[in-house]
Structure 1
Amino acid sequence: MGGGEGSTAREALNDKSIEKVTMCDIDEVFKAFRNNLSSTMPAKIELLERKEKFDIIVGDLADPVEGGPCYQLYTKSFYQHILKPKLNQGGIFVTQVLSYHLWLLS
């Protein structure tokens, strides 16, 4: 999720053990580039619509500023009801966070 400039996907593809990378971005970046990047979708929609599960999901997102484009991707509800069901058994989710109190968003 995120990484609209492609650096996260590029780095993941450098690892020979990774077979496939699916990139989905936040709404604002998606809107700006949708004409040129047909394989990307807004992150929340991508996770909701995909039937497949993932071994690793990486969140390369902007800070969760209230009302900002990534805010909904840092909520407890998003993690429990959308992200976690898309992980394979033993799968992991990795993200950056600047302040740990941000994990308390509801």
Structure 2
Amino acid sequence: MGGGEGSAAREALKHKTIEKVVMCDIDQEVVDFCRRYLTVNQEAFGNKKLNLVVNDAKAELEKRNEKFDIIVGDLADPVEGGPCYQLYTKSFYERILKPKLTENGSA
């Protein structure tokens, strides 16, 4: 969730056992800018294991049927009314995030 600059994806992709990384960020402009100018993450953006999704993370998790071993939140501060505020709530973790984890998954 978040991480449109690609750093969390870059770090995850360093691990050879990772089969797929789904990076979901709400801001296409941030993703495009970082993909073009943040050279340290260009390899991650070009990695075939990266599935880049531009969408609201909450909406994306709600519609997906797949489960994840790990869910990382590389999010902006939870400013009330801001785009990430709802991703810091107890109800989000209990109702949306936790059901998307595999049996041994963690957030």
Could you say which TM-score interval applies, normalised by the shorter chain?
A: 0.7 to 0.9
Moved over 2 A (4+): 32-39
Query: Does 2:48 match 1:51?
Result: no
Structure 2 residues without counterparts, runs of 5 or longer: 36-50
Task: Return the structure number with greater helix share.
Answer: 2
Identity %: 67
Structure 1 gap segments, 5+ residues each: 94-106
Alignment RMSD = 2.1
1:66 paired residue among 80, 93, 103: 80
How far is 1:90 from its partner?
1.5
Q: How does 1:1-106 map to 2 (within 5 A)?
A: 1-25=1-25, 27=26, 29-30=27-28, 32=29, 39-40=52-53, 41-93=55-107
Do the aligned residues in 1 keep the contact of 2:86 with 2:92 (CA within 8 Å)?
Answer: yes
Letter in 2 for 1:84: K
Structure 1 counterpart SS, 2:11: helix
How many positions carry a matched residue from both structures? Answer: 90
TM-score of the aligned structures, taking structure 1 as reference length: 0.76
